[in-house]
Structure 1
Amino acid sequence: MQRRNKIKNIGFERGLILNLPNLLTIARIILIPLLVIFFYLPVSWAHLAATIIFVIASFTDWLDGYLARYLKQSTRLGAFLDPVADKLMVSIALVLIVAEPTFQYVSVTTRVMYIPNPIITIPAAIIVAREIVVSALREWMAEIGKRKSVAVSSLGKVKTAVQMLALMVLLYCDPSTNVVLVFTGYVLLYFAAFLTIWSMLFYLKDAWIQLSIVRMRK
């Protein structure tokens, strides 16, 4: 009887692991190498295809969270994989954009304008650095039982939306892209970097308050 219950529990846990929200998260991770492959294909529609893949991946980011709440299928695996998939997707997209010569030489009417590489490297570095800092902060707060104090805020969601939009625009750009679209991508990326710093400061402030409370109780 005990063995049967044990087998049943194992089957139940496996079912939770392979639920729809988790499968969508895993699919998002699988899309990442496809994003890189299509971005570098020697065809005229390479950047368009990469952008479509990124849009699909971004949509699954919202969908898996919604389904996990709606179907009540939140799991520890999903809570771990979802932010990992997000950070991988954003980091890889930023690497592709920073390494792309398109964003250094932009055609403007009859001449080519040179844009220094740091112009796009700086906001990309800010975004990646912030993700590392906030991830480490959340791990630290989880250890003292205050993980909810640094949960995703409304400002963080706005930051993510602007960041995704900026990456979609810039991934689409290639040497034939209109200069206005390229600079729109730049502006969105800098705005995302600003929101990135702003939201990080809010998380640090909330974490500091919780740490001060814990220290006072000791």
Structure 2
Amino acid sequence: MRVTEPRTLLLLFSGSLALTETWAGVHSLRYFHILVSRPDLGRDLYQSVGYLDDTQFVRYNSDTANPRVEPRAPWMEHEGPEYWDRQTNIAIEHSQDSRANLKVIVGNHNHSELESHSFLWLSGCDVGPDGRMVRGYEHFAYDGADYITLNEDMRSWSAAGTVAQIIRRKWEMEGTAERYRAYLETYCVDWLRKYLEKGKETLLRAGQEQKSVLSHSETWSLLPWAVLSCF
């Protein structure tokens, strides 16, 4: 099975930031994660990028000589080494969890591990003018197609296809949605507020008082740092 090249996947992610709705005063924190297995090379590729509204502010690429989470916005360059060490450790954990999840999915589908496959994940939250959460989202895909998505109530899951239903039932039995909801309502919102404070001057200069957000249906026609549950 041939999967989309990593560069193409990143372009798809960038395209997902296109305007769909405009909500005055609404801001978003989004993380996009990609794991691509590369059995021919003997090592996987893991990349993640973080967006505050439509501005990329952090990234991680496992293919670099010294993989670390790096700043992508001027207002993030003032963070100290402890912050970057912590975020890098979290990114490494996410790559390991993503690898474990992809292995389970490939096995559930009886697909060959000798072929390249991809695991994609979108995680994020939106807050309104009052600083309260408008919505949160956790969306997963396999080989570029929808797999399982946290519903808008953040209490249940929607699975695409018969095989994905196995994961949905398992997660509902384990209360996985509750853990994601707790993360989105607290950690995600708290960091969104902190990043907005750090980058507010840049964001205002960029004219982002009118916020662009994705509609729920377009979140993946299209992944900070939440704990990725293993399937």
* TM-score past 0.5 threshold: no
Greater strand percent: which structure?
A: 2
**Shorter chain as normaliser: what TM range?**
under 0.3
Greater helix percent: which structure?
A: 1
The TM-score with structure 1 as length reference comes to: 0.27
Larger RCO, structure (CA 8 Å, separation 6 or more): 2
The TM-score with structure 2 as length reference comes to: 0.26
Which of 1 and 2 has greater Rg?
Answer: 1
